[in-house]
Structure 1
Amino acid sequence: MRKALPIILGILGFAFLMQSQASGKPPFVSPLKYEDVFALEYAADPHFFSDSKRLLYTRRSMDIFSDTVRSGVWQIDVNTGEASPVLNDIPGLAQSTLSPDNTKLAYIASTDNGPQIFVHYLSLDKSLQITQLTTSPSHLTWSPDNKHLYFVAKVEAQVPVIFTDMPSAPPDAKWAEPARVINSIAYRADGGGYTHPGFTHVFRVSAEGGMVEQITQGEHSFTGPLTISPQSNSIVTSVNLTPSPELTPFGTDLVEVDITSKKMSQVTSRKGSESNPKISPNGKWLAYLHVEDKKMAYQLSELVLRNLESGEEQRLSAPLDRQTVAFEWAENSDYIVFSYLDSGETKLAEVRLNGDIIGLPVKVGGQALGRPYTSGEFALAKSGDVAFTHSPASHPAELHIFSRSGNITPLTALNEDLLTQRTMAEVDAIVVNSSIDNLSIDAWIAFPPGFDSSKRYPMILEIHGGPHAAYGPQFSMEVQLMAAQGYVVVWSNPRGSASYGADFGNLIHHNYPSNDYQDLMDVVDAVSARPYIDNDNLFITGGSGGGVLTAWSIGKTDRFNAAVVAKPVINWVSFALTADAYPYFSQYWMPDMPWNDHEALWKRSPLSLVGNVNTPTMLLTGEADYRTPISETEQYYQALKLRQIDTVMVRIPGAPHGITAKPSRLIQKVGNIVAWFNTYNTVPAKQ
């Protein structure tokens, strides 16, 4: 019998495989494990060669030893799919860009002396460092004549000194570090720490290296991106010329700078903010993104076309009433392909210069690896084909091609080795009508691998941040890991979310949280009514804006067994005066300065409801978070402790607002959430 057992199991396995194939579902293998985070790979940043037959893309993977995301550049043949590495495992690789003549690849990479610019000669397979900068470069751009690289970098100003009579330390003495004197409005940034005063300017350097030349001057910051005229004699970029730039978040205009004379002339002066300029290949048109500043919390960026000869302008994407994300000119300058947010997804469209918009059957995604946010990148070939990153709910971003004939072809299968050994959570989409005003709310459900509808499962509501952001049916390692632990996971786009137009987004303007809470509860009601949900085991979590709504929800209801409040705002008054982007928050999210509007802000602060909370609550925040500072978390933790609610505070050392930038932190985040929920799950989920 012992010898026959493997044969019997083999027959049973074959029968199961046949049954799975007949049902259209792959056979159950194994759910995801936490360590699988380090097995993930994804595609990013595609750009075509001029022949439209080859493209370069960035391949990103996880390094289990350095706990970082590794990046390399690969070349791939569009017709055959044959791929080969161009740059392999470059530390801090960013902003790789192909020269117009297709012979060189410029990129930024980390060195012992900070980020520097490199040029890789494709025919020689050799790289040359061409800068020795003291501040970090960004917005790397080739000149059309292939001779120069342009970039933006900070020119640091002198640090203010008030006390000048400090005595000198004796030889070999070890005194404390000197005091830091701050007099700028923007003095620290999430993910970057305390900033050095100064202004960002445009520079250029020969593609062969040499002296770095400063192109722009003055006490204003030129922010990029950059576009160079076809003759390589001028630059168009954006700069905030208002009297108080740091207090005017939407105040950038487009300017043209003559490269030889350094003379600057203003191109646009519209109300609001203009950015991301791109001159058409024929030099006749300028396209850019514009946000009309109405002092609203959710303001759409629109694609605008400007005739460089007449100055006439046309709002190309305005009829969509959707957020424009990125765009590329066609080689013949007859049309533009752009990406925009719609119903929780990033989509592509083609717009003619007469304003006609043609939707393309393409959905872009895959750059938000942790949670299912809208994201994605694309590139437009001279042939009109489009390369794009695509990420369904089942796997991270792969590279696809959309041809002008209408066909979509996958080019990469970076995660095939992992996905053939794991059964992923399946995802369904639902629509819930709000009980307040019948507003349609999109939502998605992830089912545990091996889901059996005759059984009952605990449920997690996962709430997105922003609040003007959007979830969708994209891959999310956090959702997949939660589902792999035996939970049904639900996420949605309540009112205020991006991707549904300006009116939908501003339903929470100066009123957040508000009816978005009820939208979430309506989603919970709709899903928990299904027979496979265990209503005795409901859980809630969310980060940033999702942390706000999680804390608000448990102040309103006791229906959840436990909650995890990640990187929240708890007190709008203290947040407004401690967050890094306080000039923006105080002007756009609040009707008045916090000291003038204390009562209204307090009524919308989750801390005002802490006296109602009975739900066991975990607080989870990065200690280097300057967007929603950890002092917010500490206020809520201490209030809950004073009320003797079962509470823990999980602090992630060194982590900014984006907690999951390091692979191990993604595991820490999800693992702590699931462990907390398992503690209060009356029928423990899969361990």
Structure 2
Amino acid sequence: MASAAQRVGRAVTPDLLMRLLRPSEAALSRDGRQIAFAVTESFSEPNERPRSRIWLSAVDGEPRQVTHGPGVDMLPRFSPDGRLLAFASDREQPGLMSLYLLATGGEGEDEAQPLGRLEGSVEDIQWAAGGGSLVVLAADPGSDRAGAQQATRIVAKDGADDDPDIRRPFRAWRRLLRVDTASGEAAEVGTEGVNVWEFDLRDEGSAVAVVSDDPSESSWYDAYVALLDLDARTARNLYRPRWQLQALCSSPDGRRVAFVEGLCSDRTIVTGPVKVVELQSGEVRELPVDDVGWLGWSDDETLLYAGWQGLGSRCGRIALDGSHTELWSGEATIGTRYVPRITVDARGETVAAVRESAGEAPEVVLFENGSWRSISRLNDEVAGELELPRWERFAWTAHDGLELEGLLARPAGHEGGPLPLVVWVHGGPTASWTWQFAPQYGHSLLLASAGYAVLAPNPRGSAGRGAAFREAVLGDMGGEDFEDILAGVDASVAAGIADEDRVGIFGGSYGGFMSALAVTRSDRFAAAVPMAVVSNWLSFHLTTNIGRFDELFLDDDPYRPGGAYFERSPVAQAPGSRTPTLIVHGELDLCTPVGQARELYQALVDAGVETELAVYPREGHGYVERAHQIDVWQRMRAWFDRHLLREF
């Protein structure tokens, strides 16, 4: 078992963890001399999103903050000559991201100027080659954010509430707009009736894009690759996939488009093999590398990539002939919690990223001479104060002989003997746990600081182990993957790590479903805390904004009597349950609607189970407000303390 070094400092608290800053969206200038990135706070105040600011630096200089909000500043993009920085901000209309320009040579306090007046909320920005215009992807108000982005609706904070709330299909689209950088004049250039999920400019008059004919969040699961003529506003289908798509990019000569295709549960977190389509012939080739989440062309024949590798991540180059050079791999995460990512200059020679590991807080880094050099020092002070647990890779064998792995944390200074164990199940199911500093509210650090061991398993269905492992969950959610988790618990008990009578389980989204299933199917756990839960697959299908997800992953007809929608629903198995259960949910969650939590709560009450339901107003698919993060932790710790630390 590989082990990561521990550090003894102050006991971990939510207040300490919320001092951590989260860099993201690192972007190099075309010449590789400058880097811009967003820095986001770990919390928000009521009715706000977490504040973020744009920082700028020479790659051999000291970063400086160049925007000052007051709300969200994101998506920094350098002009071709590096003199301007475009970015998106909601400073004018909280809740809606607008387009801004900033001179990179400015020394004043936030000299950014708005550019154009767009009707939607900006989600991506690309400069035309000449620098005279930008193409932006903007979501109409009323569009849904992805589950990994809190699964809430995009609305202006000061906009009027819908009264009554009218729903009908085909209301809110994601559109492409061309914006003149001199005048700010904006014009729609996408194809009417085609929803754009992501795009890459091929030249000033055309783009390749991941699109669907329906703008609903659910339609993303059946999106396809298209060539868009931005002047004629027409679309030509290039490729219809079997699975989901991400990281699409056009080759420098415009002859090819590359993308990642893989089975995926959530928009924005696709990983899989790399595919390349020849635009003229339509020929499709698959390159021999898997679990990739980000792509960029180095030249017309070579791609750079970033992806997962087991519990770690990696990046490298792969040529169209399949030859492959790995630049780096290791026990760290390059990118963010869900998305492996690097940024490169126009020649593909300078490489930068956001990087973190179990012992290193997230920072912006530059790849030099085979290793990473820090550009930012955002978290040095707070990271140095935290008492870090002892992390290690933990491996075990499933009942059918499949080798499995996860991350195991034990309290700093623990000298041996069984501990109360809490199992933390990730979402997805096609997400995964990787080496990170304080993932998802830092619950692993908080629990270890409170005296618990924490097992974060990657059961079958997780990313990082190839297509067969990822696809093993199809038609079997809550089946073999649940048995994988039970086998991990048994292995930790057999290894003397865990006290078999003091095991709890929690998780959010798919982890919430698995935690609820553990309550209704097994007596193995002494306490459970399902978050953002799925409890009834039929009512989920009828109320979620991603009904195509359950059709795909359950591989069944929602309306078939006695089928998977019934058999795999925790509420259907609630009678006879005994595990004390705390249910935590966000009131505004569009992905796993709050009714799922209420159904589970009532089913467990009917079964006579000790249960409690905490619903957080203003929250979506997760908990971002400062007071809510503190309350969730306090309730969860009190629940586990009461049921896992009591005398049996």
Q: What is the root-mean-square deviation of aligned Cα atoms in Å?
A: 3.1
- What residue in structure 1 maps to residue 326 of structure 2? 359
Q: How far does residue 360 in structure 1 lie from its aligned partner after superposition? A: 2.3
Q: Extract unaligned runs of 5+ from structure 2.
A: 143-160
1:287-686 to 2 correspondence within 5 Å? 287-290=258-261, 301-308=272-279, 311-316=282-287, 319-320=288-289, 322-330=290-298, 332-363=299-330, 365=333, 373-381=337-345, 382=347, 384-403=349-368, 405-434=369-398, 436-453=399-416, 455-475=417-437, 476=439, 477-586=442-551, 588-657=552-621, 659-682=622-645
Q: How far does residue 139 in structure 1 lie from its aligned partner after superposition? A: 1.8
**Structure 1 position 115 matched with structure 2 position 97:** yes
In structure 2, distance between residues paired with 1:561 and 1:238: 45
In structure 2, distance between residues paired with 1:243 and 1:380: 31
**Structure 1 position 78 matched with structure 2 position 63:** no
In structure 1, distance between residues paired with 2:488 and 2:26: 37
The answer as to whether partners of 2:5 and 2:390 remain within 8 angstroms in 1 is no
Q: How far does residue 88 in structure 1 lie from its aligned partner after superposition? A: 3.5
- What residue in structure 1 maps to residue 198 of structure 2? 224
The answer as to whether partners of 1:254 and 1:274 remain within 8 angstroms in 2 is no
Q: Please tell me the residue identity of whatever aligns with 2:34.
A: R
Q: How far does residue 650 in structure 1 lie from its aligned partner after superposition? A: 1.0
Q: How far does residue 366 in structure 1 lie from its aligned partner after superposition? A: 6.5
- What residue in structure 1 maps to residue 227 of structure 2? 255
The answer as to whether partners of 1:462 and 1:540 remain within 8 angstroms in 2 is yes
In structure 1, distance between residues paired with 2:193 and 2:412: 57
Q: How far does residue 666 in structure 1 lie from its aligned partner after superposition? A: 3.0
- How many residue pairs get matched? 612
- What residue in structure 1 maps to residue 81 of structure 2? 101
Q: TM-score, structure 2 length as denominator?
A: 0.86
SS for the counterpart of 1:43 is: strand
Q: % of aligned pairs identical?
A: 21
In structure 2, distance between residues paired with 1:673 and 1:63: 18
* 1:33 alignment partner, one of 13, 20, 24: 13
Q: How far does residue 102 in structure 1 lie from its aligned partner after superposition? A: 0.3
In structure 1, distance between residues paired with 2:422 and 2:211: 44
Q: Please tell me the residue identity of whatever aligns with 1:361.
A: W
Q: Which has the higher strand share?
A: 2
Q: How far does residue 619 in structure 1 lie from its aligned partner after superposition? A: 0.9
> What is the CA deviation profile of residues 139-193 of structure 1, one whole-angstrom value per residue up to 9, with x for unaligned ones?
2111010000111235689xxxxxxxxxxxxxxxxxx975343231x7xxxxxxx
The answer as to whether partners of 2:311 and 2:406 remain within 8 angstroms in 1 is no
Please say which structure displays the higher CA radius of gyration: 1
> What is the CA deviation profile of residues 496-555 of structure 1, one whole-angstrom value per residue up to 9, with x for unaligned ones?
222222222222321221122221111111112344533332211122211222222233
The answer as to whether partners of 1:478 and 1:666 remain within 8 angstroms in 2 is no
Q: Please tell me the residue identity of whatever aligns with 2:355.
A: H
**Structure 1 position 149 matched with structure 2 position 116:** no
> What is the CA deviation profile of residues 314-359 of structure 1, one whole-angstrom value per residue up to 9, with x for unaligned ones?
222xx23x232111121x4342111223313332121013221222
The answer as to whether partners of 1:250 and 1:291 remain within 8 angstroms in 2 is no
Q: CA 1:32–1:246 in structure 2 vs 1: closer, same or farther (change >3 Å)?
A: closer
Q: Please tell me the residue identity of whatever aligns with 2:98.
A: Q
1:206-245 to 2 correspondence within 5 Å? 206-229=180-203, 232-241=204-213
> What is the CA deviation profile of residues 546-568 of structure 1, one whole-angstrom value per residue up to 9, with x for unaligned ones?
12222222333323221112122
SS for the counterpart of 2:444 is: helix
The answer as to whether partners of 2:75 and 2:87 remain within 8 angstroms in 1 is yes
Q: CA 1:244–1:38 in structure 2 vs 1: closer, same or farther (change >3 Å)?
A: closer
Q: CA 1:64–1:498 in structure 2 vs 1: closer, same or farther (change >3 Å)?
A: closer
SS for the counterpart of 1:397 is: strand
The answer as to whether partners of 1:202 and 1:216 remain within 8 angstroms in 2 is yes
SS for the counterpart of 1:669 is: helix
Q: TM-score, structure 1 length as denominator?
A: 0.82
In structure 2, distance between residues paired with 1:337 and 1:243: 31
> What is the CA deviation profile of residues 282-321 of structure 1, one whole-angstrom value per residue up to 9, with x for unaligned ones?
444432334599xxxx9964322344555544222xx23x
Q: CA 1:486–1:224 in structure 2 vs 1: closer, same or farther (change >3 Å)?
A: same
The answer as to whether partners of 1:30 and 1:422 remain within 8 angstroms in 2 is yes
Q: Extract unaligned runs of 5+ from structure 1.
A: 1-23, 158-175, 187-196
Q: Please tell me the residue identity of whatever aligns with 2:625.
A: K
Q: How far does residue 678 in structure 1 lie from its aligned partner after superposition? A: 1.1
In structure 2, distance between residues paired with 1:25 and 1:301: 31
In structure 2, distance between residues paired with 1:156 and 1:84: 33
In structure 1, distance between residues paired with 2:554 and 2:272: 21
SS for the counterpart of 2:361 is: coil
In structure 1, distance between residues paired with 2:320 and 2:285: 9
SS for the counterpart of 2:597 is: helix
Q: Please tell me the residue identity of whatever aligns with 1:682.
A: L
The answer as to whether partners of 1:513 and 1:552 remain within 8 angstroms in 2 is yes
Q: How far does residue 36 in structure 1 lie from its aligned partner after superposition? A: 0.9
The answer as to whether partners of 1:395 and 1:415 remain within 8 angstroms in 2 is no
In structure 2, distance between residues paired with 1:367 and 1:243: 28
- What residue in structure 2 maps to residue 166 of structure 1? none
